[in-house]
Structure 1
Amino acid sequence: MALANMNVPDSARTIPVRAPRETQETTQDTLLDLRFRALMSDAEWSSLPQAVRRRFTKRLSGGRTAVYAGEILETRMNFAGRCLAQLARLIGAPLPTSTDAHVPIVVTVTEDMATGGQIWTRLCTRRDGFPQIINSSKRFSGPTGIEEYLGRGLSMALTIHASNGALVFRSDTYVVRVLGFRLRLPAWLSPGVMTVSHAEIGETRFLFSLKVEHPWFGVLIDQTAAFQETVT
């Protein structure tokens, strides 16, 4: 699901979060991280808004952290999606388990010191109980040049695209590491195609979408959240 084809909810335009002091650091920063950009064609990269390009070239080494605060606008799951989310607890719960809407969410991005990639941590609050913490690591390796490590040896190779001004990550294959060997999961054992989109909605705000779709069970999980950059 490409975010540019979605109607942006009104609540996404009115997140009461303070804007950062620095919003034009792109061309002045000579120490850019160009690994995401290297996986895209010149035309696709150039089609993205400047703010999106800046976020995905931000250098995070040396202890730097990017922080994004926002609100979960909607999470929908069918029965198979709920089962998948619960089953995924066995590898660290990388999928949302709650359908609470209009609750805060915070994302931090830091350097993965072990692999040189990036660790993405999502803190998703719930109306009842402790927040759910979702961790994953984007690693610049694998057959497509980038993969997301989910936990317990499971990772998925990603492809990266630009679609109508949105940056889109899409799962390509799933791989599990067992006894030092990388084994590709067959299609029938795959949880489906995961698509994550990042689209600018103005004034340093952006819309995040996560969608998992299975050829037999339809759309398993569909989550949308709106974020505002914070000062780091």
Structure 2
Amino acid sequence: VAVRVVAWLLLGAAGLTQTLAANSSDAPFSAGKGGIRATCSEIILRQEVLKDGFHRDLLIKVKFGESIEDLQTCRLLIKHYIPTGLFVDPYELASLRERNITEAVMISENFNIEAPNYLSKESEILIYARQDAQCIDCFQAFLPVHYRYHRPHSKDEETFIIVNNPDLLMYCDQEFPILRCWAQSQVAAPCALKSKDICQWNNMKYKSIYKNVTLQVPVGLTIHTSLVCSVTLLITILCSTLILVAVFKYGHFSL
């Protein structure tokens, strides 16, 4: 009898230990209002380039795996690094902000939109994403980008620009335990586009549909240098001559 009693006591203690361990492992996934979550959902980011030619639109969409009904007090900020082969026109951004089309601002200094790619530097852009009206748990951001001029090549008639995935930052007015699933570190950035206050944003980990975006840029060939220079010079002389003839023929001169 004594042996059986000791055995039952040992079994009960082992079961209690396993229960406590299981509850401890599930504690980080508790979502407060949402109850206990078995696993952390993924944040999905999709980045694509729209339109053709040298003037493109960069569209970024972010989707949360769980409903963000309890995250309405949160803001999403995209920190993008524009490669040297592209540029963003700050004057165009100012016009788009005035028309409430996008909320983006450049943070790079000494920026030259006229410089070719081999004389330019990578630039940093902050884009405050907006919630998608057609998707309750989605955000999207829009940014116009333009190709820079590239060096002519000896053989290839095109070059490639790689647009890497951006940093995804989130700031919430209140604490949500589910953010622990995604947050990696904290980054200081303005709380809003027109605010001078600095907030500590959470740098979020996410899953990207595409590893990166690759753009093809047509470039000139060095073997065509003489031909292009000659034709350009002839056209310049011809146009200048026609302008001078029109001035002397139709102009009115007074002494």
Specify the TM-score bucket, using the shorter chain as the normaliser.
under 0.3
Bigger CA radius of gyration: 2
TM-score, reference length from structure 2: 0.24
**Superposition TM-score, scaled by structure 1 size:** 0.26
Q: Which has the higher helix share?
A: 2
